[in-house]
A and B are shown apart, each in its own frame.
Chain A
């Protein structure tokens, strides 16, 4: 072997080993997806709940809006859902019966998000929702002031408009009982 070949061989070996070393030890950094998602930090517990105006689901075409501030004086549960979300459909009967039996102390407001109102109406008609449902067809809330990483997403608001708690994923008996207690003391 002449010296050129030796240099070529040695540099190839060095290159290969450097590559392997670099790849094995390389750890890509990642932005946490919560910072890329949907935008905004979402409702902050202890702060006042961001106000919004949305149409009723049944009359979403008529353009008559209802604002959050109009419910002041009553504790609220905002429930963000969509007809395509199976977990949302599963929690619907529980939420509905909770709303019915606690109608004097706490108000449940469903917010159909990023969804066709027709599909949502069909889902609600099947199970019968005993609460007010608003339509947020272009998901303006869960993409900004009520930023959430998924559905269903629920927010507990006190009677004077403070965010008390949030829940990502299905609600259950325990959470609802806990929330009822929290709402009564705040």
Chain B
């Protein structure tokens, strides 16, 4: 070791197998999966009108994680050319060549098959079909078709992110109800403000990769206008859910207060459309969704047992 150090060669003795393992984990985008859990589990509480069995929760979360992880891995295979051009994503395993595209694709296929089998065998067929359809939509409609062509790419692609809520509901009840569709629409409407706020910061990255994210091709002012519209819509829907569902004041209070917060941050960004205000909005958008869904779980625990 001493000889290496003295010759000035930096050596990290990380075994290749460990590097590969880390690469496979990175392929699933673990951070996005966190968001999946935050929305799915409270929805299961609401569907059950109480606490579902721990076993069902764990299996549903496992299936959802496998399906979303597979979708993200497919995404990284297809987008490896543009990921290489972007600062934010150039550390991804297919860009750094820790993994080969063939390895990543096999991994993705295995994850999807495993997800479907887990749902079908231990939950129900509907949940399995929903999970695989969401993956197909995300990969086919978002990654392949819209991402490189339309400024509305993430608006429509956001539908894939809304499906985990439907899966949570169907896992408990074996069907899809109006309330679950409304919850899915909350995520659908929440995605544009959330993602565009982030894309404001990385607009030059997307320009370098030739990806027409809205903030890259329109001014911040225009982006702010669009964000404000979606923020108002998502807050209106979350409030409309109060009379339409069995939820009571724990949810109602949280939805109204955090909704005011979301609109407030969107307005702040509209009044002064700086990158800094966009990141504040991005940060709060995550808090907002967490509050909405945690308060659903809390509401169920307080009033429905």
Which A residues contact B (CB, under 8 angstroms)?
Answer: 16, 19-20, 23-24, 26-33, 36-38, 82, 84-86, 113-116, 119, 139, 142, 149-151
Chain B, residue nearest A148 (CB): B219
Known: A26-B144, A36-B217. A20 touches B222 (CB 8 A): no
Chain A min CB distance to B243 (Å): 37
CA distance A91 to B4 in the complex (A): 48
Q: What is the CB-to-nearest-CB distance from A31 to chain B, in angstroms, rounded to a whole number?
A: 5
Q: Does residue B81 face the partner (Cβ distance < 8 Å to A)? A: yes
Q: Is B211 touching A28 in the complex (CB atoms < 8 A)?
A: no
- Complex-state Cα separation, A119 to B274, whole angstroms: 12
Q: Is B50 an interface residue (CB 8 A)?
A: no
- Let me know if A84 and B211 touch, CB within 8 A: no
* B156–chain A nearest beta-carbon distance, Å: 15
Residue in B81, B108, B212, B220 whose beta carbon sits within 8 Å of that of A36 in the complex: B212
Interface SS of chain A: helix, strand, loop or mixed? Answer: loop
Q: What is the 8 Å Cβ interface bit string for chain B, positions 164-182, against chain A (1 contact, 0 not)?
A: 0000000000000000000
> A23 touching B207 by the CB < 8 A rule?
no
**Chain B residues touching A, range:** 20 to 34
How far is it, in angstroms, between the C-alpha of A118 and the C-alpha of B268 when the chains are bound? 15
Would you call A139 and B210 a contact (CB within 8 A)? no
Given A20-B102, A23-B105, A32-B210, the answer on whether A113 and B148 have CB atoms closer than 8 Å is no
Which residue of B74, B148, B207 is within 8 Å of A30 (Cβ)? B148
Would you call A139 and B219 a contact (CB within 8 A)? yes
Q: Given contact pairs A37-B217, A38-B218, A114-B221, enumerate 10 new A-B contacts (beta carbons under 8 Å).
A: A16-B106, A24-B101, A30-B210, A33-B207, A37-B212, A84-B221, A84-B273, A86-B275, A114-B219, A139-B221
Question: B157 to chain A: closest CB distance in Å?
Answer: 14
Inside 8 A of A33's CB, which chain B residues have their CB?
Answer: 207, 210-212, 216-217
Bound-state CA distance A86–B210 (Å) is 23
- Contact between chains at B272 and A29 (CB < 8 Å): no
- Smallest distance from the beta carbon of B93 to chain A beta carbons, Å? 15
State whether the Cβ of B51 lies closer than 8 Å to any Cβ in chain A.
no
Q: B220, A84: Cβ atoms under 8 Å?
A: yes
Docked pose: A128 CA to B78 CA in angstroms? 50
Q: How far is the CA of A113 from the CA of B221 in the complex (A)?
A: 9
What residues of B have a CB within 8 angstroms of the CB of A23 in the complex? 74, 77-78, 101, 105, 108
| Residue contacts A-B, CB under 8 angstroms, 10 given | A19-B105, A19-B109, A20-B105, A23-B78, A23-B108, A24-B101, A28-B144, A29-B148, A149-B217, A151-B219
Q: Which B residues between 269 and 288 are near A, CB-CB below 8 angstroms?
A: 271-275
Are B274 and A24 in touch, CB under 8 angstroms? no
B88 within 8 A of A: no
Tell me if B143 is interfacial: C-beta within 8 Å of chain A: yes
Q: Verify B101–A31 contact, CB threshold 8 A.
A: no
Chain B minimum-CB-distance residue to A22:
B105
Residues of B within 8 A of A (CB): 74, 77-78, 81, 101-102, 105-106, 108-109, 143-145, 147-151, 207, 210-212, 216-222, 271-275
Nearest 4 A/B pairs, CB to CB: A30-B148, A114-B219, A114-B221, A37-B217
Q: A20 is contacted by which of B106, B274, B275 (Cβ under 8 Å)?
A: B106
Docked complex Cα distance between A19 and B108 (Å) = 10
- The CA-CA distance from A107 to B77 in the complex, in Å, is 52
Min Cβ gap A172→B in Å is 18
Q: How far, in angstroms, from A20 to B145 measured CA to CA in the complex?
A: 19
| A82 and B243 alpha carbons, distance in the complex (Å) | 44
B-side contacts of A139, CB under 8 Å: 219, 221-222
Smallest Cβ-Cβ distance to B222: which chain A residue: A114
Which one, B109, B218, B274, contacts A86 given CB within 8 A? B274
Return the contact of B221 from the options A32, A82, A86 (Cβ within 8 A): A82
In the complex, A26→B159 CA distance in Å? Answer: 23
- Interchain nearest-CB distance for B151 vs A (Å): 7
Q: Are A31 and B144 in contact (CB under 8 A)?
A: no
Closest to A15 in B: B109
Bound Cα distance A85, B109 (Å): 44
User: With a CB–CB cut-off of 8 A, which chain B residues contact A151?
Assistant: 219
- The contact of A27 among B81, B147, B149, by CB within 8 Å, is B81
- Give chain B residues whose Cβ lies under 8 Å from the Cβ of A26: 78, 144
